[in-house]
Amino acid sequence: MSVDTQRETHSFQAEINQLLNLVINSLYSHKEIFLRELVSNASDALDKLRFRTITEPELLGGEPTLEIRIIPDAERGTVTIEDTGIGMTHDELVKNLGTIAHSGSREFLEQLTQRGQKDVNLIGQFGVGFYSAYLVADRVEVVSRAAGQDSKAWKWTSEAKGTFVVEPAEHTTRGTAVTLHLKADQKEFLDEWRLRSLITQYSDYVGHPIQLQVKKPSDVIDAKTGQKGTTTAFETVNKASALWQRPKSEVTDEQYQEFYKHLTHDFEPPLTWTHFRTDGNQQFTGLLFLPKRRPFDLDGTAKRRGVRLFVKRVFIMDDCEELLPPWLRFVRGVVDSDDLPLNVSRELLQDSAVVRSIRKHVVKKTLDLLEKLAKDKPEDYTALWKNFGSILKEGLASDGENKEKLGGLVRYESSREEGLTSLADYVSRMKEGQQAIYYVFGESRKALEGSPHLEALRKRGYEVLYLTDPVDEWAAQGLHEFHGKPLVSALQADLKLQESAEEKKEKEQRAEGLKSLTDHMKEVLKDAVREVRVSDRLTDSPVCLVLPEGGSPAFLERLLREHGRSMPRAQRILEVNPAHPVIEHLRKLHEKDSKSERVAEWIELLHDQALLTEGSALEDPNRFAKRMTALLTQVAAQAVEAPANGAPAASTPATEATSTPGSAAQA
C-alpha cells in the first residue's frame, strides 16, 4: 500500500513516553500554559514561512495572510489552534512529534531525573512545548500541510498511550491545526472570556494577529424560538505589534515580564531588563533580559545563546551567536536592525561591519545593566553571580576589550569573612604597603583556608581571595591586574612581598645556613623538584611546594587530566621553613651523618606532605603509608618508654615531627 493511503501506527520514543506520563499525571496547577506554548509554536511556524518567502515567494501560493486562529467548540469539547505557517510534511510530523531529539524536551527530562518526579514546577519552568497540550487534553489531533504547490496534508493523532497514528488528511490551506479534545475537568478553556484573557496575558506581543472565534448576536430571527440567533466571527485579540518597537514609556513592567515568558518559556519573570534604541551610524532596537534562574539548555553541547535577530520586524533567526560573545550566552532578548538586508546569511553576519557594531553596543548595554544591578540591588546581583558567574568569568580570559568592566563585576569568596566580595572592595581594604591582590586557587574554601602558602600573608594581615571555580585560574591570569594592582597567586614562587634591608639580609643568612641541607634535599629528590630553597612565606609549616613562573596549580592539572587532556606534572620549587623544629633537627642530623638513610626518608616524607597540601596525588601512596607507619611506631615506642624510665623521652626529629604543627606526622 502506498504511503498516500496508508494509516500508520508508530511508537513514541521511550523518553517521550516518560515525558507524557509526567504531564498526564501531573498535579501542576498552571495548566493554562498549554495555550502559550501552542501559540508560540504557531508564531514560530509563521516566522519561518515569512523568512523563507524572502527568497521563495512562491511558498505563499496566493495566500499571503499570516495569522493564528483559536477556535473553541463547546459541542465537541475541543479547542483548535491553527496557523497559516510553514506546515509539516509526513516525515516531519513523525520526527518532530515522536522523537525527543526534535521535541526540545531532553533537558527537561535530565533536570527531572536530578530533582525527582515530584518537582512538577519544572513543567512551568521549562514549558515542555507541544506536549503541554496533554495537561488539558486526553486526545490531540494535528493536521498539517507543508507550504508548497505539491504538498499533501497529513493527520497526526495520539491519546498519549505509547503510540501515535499518522494518516492522509484534508486541509485546503498550508499550515498546521492542533485540536485538543479537552478532559472533562478542563472545559473552562472553551470559555471565550477565559481564552481572551490568556491570549492577552501570555501572547499579546506575538507579531502576528491572533484571531479568536467568538459568538455574536445575529439579525436573523430563529424560527423555533422567535428570538435573534447567534453567529460566529473572528476577532483579533492581541496587539500584534513588536513590543520592543514601542516607546518604553508605553510598556509596563508586567508587559515586559510577560513578553520575556513568551520569548523564553520561562515560568518566572526575569531578574531585570534593558530596552534601548540606537540612532547613530546603525539603527537598531534591543530588548535584553537577565534570567532569574539558569536555563536548562545553557550548558548543552550546542551552548545556545538567547538573542533573536529581526530585520525590520521580520524574524531572521534564533540564537544569533554573532550578536553576543559566548561569555554572555545566558542573556535572552531580541535585536531588530534597520540596516541589515532581509536575506542576511550566517556567512554575511560573520563578515559584517554592521553586525560588529551591533554586537559592541549589545555587549556594552548588557555590562551596563549588570553594573546597575550590582549597584542598586546587590542581593539580586549575588543571586545572578551564583548562577552565571562562571560564564561571565570566561570573558576575562577571552575578551581583552571588556576585561576592565568585567573585573568590576566579578565576585569571590575571601579570607576576610563569609560571603562574596568585589575586587573594588578588596582594594579599598588593602593594608598599607600591600602591593598586590592575593588569591589562592583550589578545590574548595575548606581545602584552601589552612593552606601553608597563606601563612606569611596571614601574618601580615593581608586578605586572600579563594578561587574555587575551574575557570578561575585562567580568568585571573586574563585579568592580570585591577585598578593598577597585580593579581598574584599565593601558590607562585614570587609573592611580591615588601622586604626591608634588614629582612632581606636575615633571609640571605638563613639561606646560607641551610645551604648544605637544601643542596642535599635536591640530591635526594632529584627531578621531583626544580629547586629547594629557604622560604619567606612559611611560619607554621615545615615545607611547601610553590609554582615557578608559568606553572599550573595542582587542582588545574588534575581537572585537565580528568577531561582527557595530557598534562605532565610541572616541576615545583620546594620551600623549607628554617625556623621550624623539624627542619632544624633535620639540619643537625644531616650535619652529623650526611649519608643517613633516615635523613633521606624524612626528606621524601616532607616532599610527600607538600604534595598532599597542594592537592597533588602521590606517585607511590603505599611507600608513603609504610614510612608513616614506621614513624608512628617509633614515636609510640618512645612514648611508652618515657614513663617507664621516669623521665620524658629524648627529643628526636621523629618526636618533634609529631608534635609540631604542620609536621609530616600530621599529614
- Beta carbons within 8 Å of 606's beta carbon, 6+ residues apart: 542, 543, 576, 582, 664
Residue 216 above 60 pLDDT? yes
Q: pLDDT band for 218, please (50, 70, 90 cuts).
A: confident
Mean pLDDT (whole number) for 451-465: 93
Q: What is d(CA 262, CA 255) in angstroms, rounded to the nearest whole number?
A: 10
| The pLDDT value given to residue 138 | 93
Higher-pLDDT residue of 304, 83: 83
What average pLDDT does range 100-123 have in this prediction? 48
* Cell matching residue 115: 530533582
Number of Cβ within a 10 Å radius of residue 88? 25
Cβ-contact 262, 203 below 8 angstroms: yes
Per-residue pLDDT, 9: 93
pLDDT digits (tens, 9 = 90+) for 15-57: 777 777 777 776 556 788 889 889 988 988 998 898 888 889 9
Query: Average pLDDT, stretch 266-295?
Result: 90
Does residue 655 surpass a pLDDT of 60? no
**539 vs 207: which has the higher pLDDT:** 539
The whole-chain average pLDDT of the chain stands at 84
pLDDT of the residue at 212: 96
pLDDT at 433 over 80: yes
User: Using 50, 70 and 90 to split pLDDT, how confident is the model at 118?
Assistant: very low
Q: What is the pLDDT of residue 209?
A: 93
Residue 281 corresponds to which cell in the numbers above?
Answer: 551610524
499-542 confidence digits (pLDDT tens): 778 878 888 888 888 999 999 999 999 999 999 999 989 999 99
| 324: helix, strand or coil | coil
Q: Give helix 515-525 / helix 581-592 axis angle, nearest 10°.
A: 90
Q: Which of 2-6, 244-248, 351-355 has the lowest mean pLDDT?
A: 2-6
488 pLDDT band, cuts 50/70/90, is very high
Q: What percent of the chain has pLDDT over 90?
A: 46
Q: Residue range 436-458: average pLDDT?
A: 92
pLDDT digits (tens, 9 = 90+) for 285-325: 999 999 998 876 676 545 566 688 888 777 778 788 889 99
422-437 exposure pattern, b = at least 16 Cβ within 10 A, e = fewer? bbeebeeebeeebebb
For the chain, percent of residues with pLDDT exceeding 70? 87
Q: Which residues of 504-516 are buried (b: 16+ CB within 10 A; e: fewer)?
A: eeeeeebbeebee
pLDDT for position 660:
38
pLDDT score of 235: 94
Query: pLDDT by residue (tens digit) across 584-623?
Result: 999 998 888 878 888 888 899 999 999 998 888 888 889 8
Report the C-alpha gap between 186 and 136 in whole angstroms. Answer: 6
Q: Is residue 2 over pLDDT 60?
A: no
- The Cα diameter of the chain in Å comes to 125
Banded model confidence at residue 662, pLDDT cuts 50, 70, 90: very low
- What is the structure's pLDDT at 304? 60
Strand duo 411-414 + 272-279: pairing: unpaired
Dihedral angle computed from the Cα positions of residues 630, 634, 635 and 639, in that order, rounded to the nearest 10 degrees: 150
pLDDT beyond 90 at 661: no
Instruction: Look at residue 44 in the predicted model and tell me its pLDDT.
Output: 86
- The pLDDT, as a whole number, for residue 645 is 53
Q: Give the mean pLDDT of 574-587.
A: 92
Q: What is the pLDDT of residue 595?
A: 82
Whether the predicted pLDDT of 380 surpasses 90 = yes
Q: For 550-566, write each residue's pLDDT tens digit.
A: 788 887 877 777 777 77
What is the Cα–Cα distance from 588 to 583, expressed in whole angstroms? 9
pLDDT at position 657 is 40
Q: Are 258 and 264 in contact (CB under 8 A)?
A: no
